[in-house]
Amino acid sequence: MLKQRLSQKMLQKLSPQQIQLMKLLQIPTATLEQRIKEELEANPALEEGSDRDEMELSNSDDFSESDDYQEEKYELDDYLNEYIEDDPTSYKLRANNYSSEEEEKTIPIAVESTFHDHLERQLGLLELQDERKEAIAHQVIGSIDEDGYLRRDPLSIMDDLMFSQNIFATEEEILGILKKIQSFDPPGTGARDLQECLLIQLRQKAELDDEEDFLDFEERARLDLAIKLIKNYFDEFTKKHYQKLVNKLDITEKQLKAAIEEVVKLNPKPASGYTSGIGSRDAQYVVPDFIVTNRDGELELNLNARNAPDLKVNDQYQDMLRTYKNNKGKRAEKKDREAVMFIKQKIDSAKWFIDAIRQRQDTMYRTMYAIMQYQYDYFLTGDAKHLKPMILKDIAEITGLDISTVSRVANSKFVQTEFGTKRLKEFFSESLSTDEGEEVSTLEVKKILEEIISQENKRKPLSDQKLQKALQEKGYQIARRTVAKYREQLNIPVARLRKEL
């Protein structure tokens, strides 16, 4: 039985342009250029140009406010609606002419020499007797990770060779070939842990210096002590139990310090020392989204020019619609109607994109301007102690934007100042009360904490409890666990690991 029922529901629906704007707000300037290129390639109705009139296009279906064009638009929509009734499979029904495949485009990566290619080229230096051993060597090299370590055990490599290449290898064979690979450049390659990595580098350095006769007696003794330290007392070394090491090795603190200096020069991640030249995809550059300039005590804010591209709707596509208007009395063929639908859809998509870019510029500028005004003293001086407590809600209330919108702008964006390029997220912090009842930023407390630690006696570093006391003496009432949290956020190790000789 059929029944009718009334119900009320509150639904929030986002238009295609709102979705597009949110996506554009999230991406930084460096990615925006690529996004615009993709849109230009996908939509022939969109093109680069300096015609600023095109940037004033509204989000409605009108290209012009004239009565003539209103009539044209009305008749065109009727015409399209008539065609849709005839052919419900028309792509007019697809939202904004975007499919999931089109939205997830990947950026082509140029072919380049990698760390593993570098190792493969050195295989020729090994005196391998047959293709079987070469296959084992290739398998071992392929198992080395991006840090330069072989963290896969020999038994697993044996299984890989058996299943993938039908080659049976013994553990002794794999370890023998690994030993040869560990002589490759960069030093430390193929190590199975940090201890072995450091030992390989120290031994290679000692062998090289022996061949070149570079070392005098004192330098040789220092290198030998470093090898002994890492080989036999690695646990005590990592925990910085220096007094134990002095007693066990029967050496002076000066000798121990010299040996530690040799170890500190080594690279704990061998592969990081290898670069494939200019254009490596691992090289990353920060492109500022905003530029704040100090003009004789007055701050000036500018968007990066890359944030304001000149885009417009292709004139030829608009001329095609006007041509249709002139021929509207004729009954068009199905293929002509399909062409008209395609043109209108591409023009709408171009308008939406242009308007989304314009709104992105406006939203980003308003948000950054509010941040600049809020943290005015910092942008004038560059002193982190002048940063005020500021949360997303503060900027949202000033700009009238939603908190989520402010969050999207602040995420992954950078501002260039005369004190360096900073992340926008660095300006946001919670507040903390001093003894005088003044509200200060937690960033200020972290800055004071850094200064206290930088001035401590490195032979007797301050514990978190002593750091808490030092902060309290400066008027910052803070718990010990909070000191530990801030220290970890600053990537500062515990007192025991900050100890030096």
pLDDT tens digits, 339-380: 777 888 888 888 888 888 888 888 889 999 999 999 998 899
Query: Structure tokens of 439?
Result: 């509200």
Instruction: Give the amino acid at 285.
Output: Y
pLDDT in tens, 429-485: 777 766 666 667 777 788 888 889 988 888 888 888 889 888 888 888 888 888 888
- What is the pTM assigned to this prediction? 0.53
CA distances from 360 to 289, 293, 315, 344 (A): 12, 22, 24, 24
Whether 149 has a pLDDT exceeding 90, the answer reads yes
What value does the mean pLDDT take over residues 58-72?
41
| Amino acid at site 123 | L
**Secondary structure element (H or E) that encloses residue 365, with its range:** helix 334-374
Query: Which letter does DSSP use for residue 268 in this model?
Result: S
Q: Is the pLDDT of residue 232 over 90?
A: yes
Q: What is the model's pLDDT at position 338? A: 75
| 424 to 33, 119, 286, 483: CA distances (angstroms) | 20, 41, 13, 24
Are residues 351 and 17 in contact, defined by beta-carbon separation less than 8 angstroms? Answer: no
For the ranges 89-98, 215-224, 320-329, the maximum mean pLDDT occurs at: 215-224
3-state SS, residue 153: coil
Sorted by where each starts, the structural domains of the chain and their CATH numbers stand as 17-90+284-428 (no CATH), 120-181 (no CATH), 194-266 (no CATH), 431-498 (1.10.10.60)
Residue the block writes with tokens 């529901």: 9
Identify the burial level of 297 via C-beta atoms within 10 angstroms of its C-beta, where 0-12 means exposed, 13-18 middle and 19 or more buried: exposed
Cis peptide before 288 (omega within 30 of 0): no
Report the chain's C-alpha Rg in angstroms: 33
Looking up tokens 């690991």, which residue turns up?
Answer: 497
- For 176-210, write each residue's pLDDT tens digit: 999 999 999 889 999 999 999 999 999 988 887 65
Per the CB < 8 A criterion, the answer to whether 157 and 174 are in contact is yes
Examine the pLDDT at 227 and tell me if it is beyond 50.
yes
- Check residue 148 and give left, alpha or beta (phi > 0: left; psi -120 to 50: alpha): left
* Model confidence at 93: pLDDT above 70: no
pLDDT per position as a tens digit, 477-492: 888 888 888 888 888 8
Alpha carbons 464 and 240: distance in angstroms, whole number = 18
Is the pLDDT confidence value at 224 over 50? yes
C-alpha to C-alpha distance for 177 and 303, rounded to whole angstroms: 56
Q: Please tell me the distance from the alpha carbon of residue 326 to that of residue 329, in angstroms, as a whole number.
A: 8
Cis (ω within 30 of 0) for the bond into 28? no
Paired tokens of 115: 């760390």
DSSP 94: S
- Residue 300 φ/ψ, nearest 5 degrees: -125, 130
